[in-house]
Structure 1
Amino acid sequence: MTDVISPENISGFTVGEGCFYVEYGKDSKYKLGLRVRPSFVIEVVADDEPVLQAIKEIIGCGTVYHLDFGRYEKYRQKNWKKHVRYKVSNITDIADKLVPFFAKHPLFGKKARAFSLFKMIVQKVLDKKHLDKDGLEEISKLVDQLHSVNKRGV
């Protein structure tokens, strides 16, 4: 399928189905007790798994996995279909593969703004800014902006 999907197709697909976000989690291994993990996902119905596998192959990183239907049992009555997700959360893969991919094949609309904020967050994590209080506050403000763009398109 990779011969059918172009990088531009991936950018367009991401505008419709993708999400740049940041996972926070308590983790005693970190100086401030908080892990900051920039992540990217595309989630689709399971029938489209080959599309996600092709995207993974073209970008060159990430994982594709089936979502646990048990968590979504209550949606079964609403005709919810099983989903698969493509996810990239390894900071090295994000910095070396994902960010350059979307820099070369630009997004548009609010997804372009989300990507711009995401890139800033990734750079701050690479610069280890998340390990000191001031840097973590800077990242937190960017994450708030990213959340706002993702939810409301501001």
Structure 2
Amino acid sequence: MNNEKLPGDYVAGLVDGEGCFYLMYRHETKRNRTNKTTYYRWIPYFCINVREDDKDLIQKVSNTLSCGKIYLLKKRKKQNNWGDTVWFGVQNIDDVYNKIIPFFKKFPLRGKKKFDFELWEKAVKIIYDHKHKEPPFRWTHGLGRGQWRLKPYTSKEHNLLQEIRQKMRQFKANRDKEYKNQPVSI
């Protein structure tokens, strides 16, 4: 396995062109229960998407950042001579907060993605602080047994995250999603 790393400025330049900072809001429902409990959660994503023939480059980015997963995205229909792509992504909040953000503080972005990153960083801080505040979990009861669940976001936290997400949309391109995720073993 190749453990080669890349220079930080090179990775920052690659991210300026091919990277994405995304703030996802998930609405999940437990389907196997009669009461169908609904959960809401915020997930910060960082990803880089390149052509499949740059798979080795993505592995080096992963080595450099010491986190994330690599996926092969199979194109459903061919267009613009682009075939399958390789996607590197990080969504673990601790990795995002402790590895990705410090990396881009040390090796800053230069293009318009810099503004997207600054907004995303604010959202990550809110999500990270929410996860680590005391006590982060509450005991809930359901169907005769209890379990620990992450406390819901306050209205202030939720509204601020929604506002940040809305501002970030101006930096996103509108593209059709024509891929299906498939993990790659590298």
Under TM normalisation by the shorter chain, which class is it? Answer: 0.7 to 0.9
Q: Do structure 1's residue 93 and structure 2's residue 95 form an aligned pair?
A: yes
Q: How does 1:98-117 map to 2 (within 5 A)?
A: 98-117=100-119
Q: How does 1:35-114 map to 2 (within 5 A)?
A: 35-67=41-73, 69=74, 72-73=75-76, 75-76=77-78, 78-114=80-116
CA distance in structure 2 between the aligned counterparts of 1:9 and 1:77, rounded to whole angstroms: 29
Name the structure 1 match of 2:164: 142
Whether the aligned pair in 2 keeps the contact of 1:7 and 1:105 (CA below 8 Å) is yes
Evaluate the alpha carbon distance shift between residue 16 and residue 140 of structure 1 in structure 2; reply closer, same or farther with a 3 A threshold. Answer: same
Whether the aligned pair in 2 keeps the contact of 1:32 and 1:131 (CA below 8 Å) is no
Gaps of 5+ in 2: 31-36, 132-151, 175-186
Q: Which has the higher helix share?
A: 1
Identity %: 30
Evaluate the alpha carbon distance shift between residue 35 and residue 126 of structure 1 in structure 2; reply closer, same or farther with a 3 A threshold. Answer: same
Structure number with larger C-alpha Rg: 2
CA distance in structure 2 between the aligned counterparts of 1:99 and 1:140, rounded to whole angstroms: 20
Q: Do structure 1's residue 33 and structure 2's residue 35 form an aligned pair?
A: no
TM-score, scaled to structure 1: 0.86
Evaluate the alpha carbon distance shift between residue 4 and residue 60 of structure 1 in structure 2; reply closer, same or farther with a 3 A threshold. Answer: closer
Evaluate the alpha carbon distance shift between residue 64 and residue 32 of structure 1 in structure 2; reply closer, same or farther with a 3 A threshold. Answer: same
Q: What do residues 17-52 of structure 1 show as CA deviations (whole Å, max 9, x unaligned)?
A: 0000112211358x9831110000100111001111
Evaluate the alpha carbon distance shift between residue 128 and residue 32 of structure 1 in structure 2; reply closer, same or farther with a 3 A threshold. Answer: farther
Whether the aligned pair in 1 keeps the contact of 2:67 and 2:95 (CA below 8 Å) is yes
TM-score, scaled to structure 2: 0.72
The number of residue pairs the alignment matches comes to 147
Gaps of 5+ in 1: none
How far the C-alpha of 1:16 sits from its partner, in A, is 0.3
Whether the aligned pair in 1 keeps the contact of 2:50 and 2:85 (CA below 8 Å) is yes
Report SS of the residue matched to 2:49: strand
Q: Which has the higher strand share?
A: 2
